[in-house]
A = this chain, B = another copy of it.
Amino acid sequence: MTDFAATKAMFDLPTGVIYLDGNSLGPLPRAATGRVGKMMQDEWGQMLITGWNKAGWMQKSKDLGDRIGRLIGAEPGHVIMGDTLSIKVYQAVASALELNPGRKVVLSDNGNFPSDLYMASGLLKSLGPEYELRVVDPEAVVENITDEIAVLMITEVDYRTGRKHDMKALTEQAHAKGVLAVWDLAHSAGAVPVDLAGCNADFAVGCSYKYLNGGPGAPAFIYVAPRHAETARPALSGWLGHEAPFAFDLDYRPGHGIDRMRVGTPPVIQLTSLEAAMDIWDMADMENVRAKSIELCELFIAEVEARCVGLELASPRDAALRGSQVSFKFREGYAAMQALIDRGVIGDFRAPDIMRFGFTPLYIDEDDVRAAVAIMEDVMAHALWDRAEYKTRHAVT
């Protein structure tokens, strides 16, 4: 059993704050600063260039990929860290398209994170006018998986509402029609159990700064199914994906397996911070995390609906259809969220009217949920959100 009191103690959470936005940026692991400091002083400072060998910097991308791989049901050796999620989406979709020659349509849904749609659309524009990005309603995805589709590109858990797609069913349907499936796990990795191998996913991508707690700008990851590992062509064919990067050949030859999805020099400092976060994840079992996450979400929904007037549940009511977040619609949601943040309850707002709250069992417990709802009740009952100070503030996050 995962000891959630123990995991909570490993985070450095500010006093007076209930942090329900770990689905956007996870908090600081207590060990992260020391670990990064040590890497900078003892490795970069003392070993200099030799750190690439001596300190194992070059291995971090793959070691960390495997540690995340355990949480998402990937076969060992088939996940690697690097770049940003947007870049990894591009890489996965570009490779998947080439593995399905003759077809020109990428299917996605309008619940996908916009950057995934932007990256795919940018790619398809480069490839030519015969390529199409087809974006449908989330509920209409299954009926639109036809033998015209080359690639299905789906984010499993909707970033606004937490609505969760059925990865296994959609991937099966895709394969039945000769379609390759690319899954974005941004709101899945560390949030819900994922079984990439069991679902026969073709590609998957995700980021490590949300539920995984790697820190602001932590690198992304990419998974390529073993059956594609030696055939997928990396459109972003950088030197570290070369079979022999330090031979400095003029011609590109892809490396073996997931290594070919490396592009440039890995961000060693960010990877070191992520290591501290994964030390905590190594203590956790995803089934325990999921059970606890559902308890917290159910409690939050019940308490809010009992005590806060005017909020309308925007997430699926059935926990099985939901990720690890709960969203409510409220016309004045932007101002209301500002008022909450000022009272120490940090969630976030997504246009046009979504108040979003993430529940992360590694460091959020029932007491936090009850305390947060008590503050929400006060904010709503006294219409604090209606004050000018909360309406005018500029939002970036």
Contact = CB atoms under 8 A, between A and B. Distances in A.
Q: How many of chain A's residues touch chain B, expressed as a range?
A: 35 or more
A396 B53 contact: yes
Interface stretch (A223-231, A261-269, A278-286): A261-269
B122 A235 contact: yes
Interface in A9-40: 12, 14, 17, 19, 21, 24-25, 27-28, 32-33, 36-37, 40
A50 B269 contact: no
A234 interface: yes
A397 B248 contact: no
A41 B33 contact: yes
Contacts of A126: 94, 126-127, 235
A236 B110 CA distance: 20
Nearest to A59: B396
Given A121-B237, A252-B118, A269-B269, A396 B246 contact: yes
B122 A236 contact: yes
Interface of A: 12, 14, 17, 19, 21, 24-25, 27-28, 32-33, 36-37, 40-41, 44-46, 48-53, 57-58, 83-87, 90, 94, 110, 113-115, 117-119, 121-123, 125-128, 135, 207, 209, 215-220, 233-240, 242, 246-252, 263-271, 273, 341, 346, 348, 350-351, 394-397
Contacts of A87: 83, 87, 236, 238, 263-264
Contact of A114 (B33, B127, B239): B239
A256 to B, nearest CB: 16
B44 A40 contact: no
Given A28-B41, A396-B53, A118 B238 contact: yes
Contact of A36 (B40, B117, B233, B348): B40
A48 B13 CA distance: 9
B48 A237 contact: no
Given A53-B396, A236-B122, A263-B87, A17 B48 contact: yes
B40 A32 contact: yes
Contact of A235 (B21, B123, B250, B263): B123
Contacts of A348: 49
Contacts of A268: 215-217
Contacts of A44: 25, 27-28, 215-216
Contacts of A271: 217
A231 to B, nearest CB: 15
A252 B220 CA distance: 21
Contacts of A273: 40, 269
Contacts of A264: 83-87, 115, 220
A17 B48 CA distance: 10
Contacts of A113: 239
Contacts of A237: 118-119, 121-122
Nearest to A159: B248
Contacts of A246: 351, 395-397
12 contacts: A25-B44, A36-B269, A37-B37, A44-B216, A86-B236, A114-B242, A118-B239, A121-B237, A216-B265, A216-B269, A217-B266, A218-B267
A238 B14 contact: no
Nearest to A248: B114
Contacts of A394: 53
Contacts of A33: 37, 40-41, 45
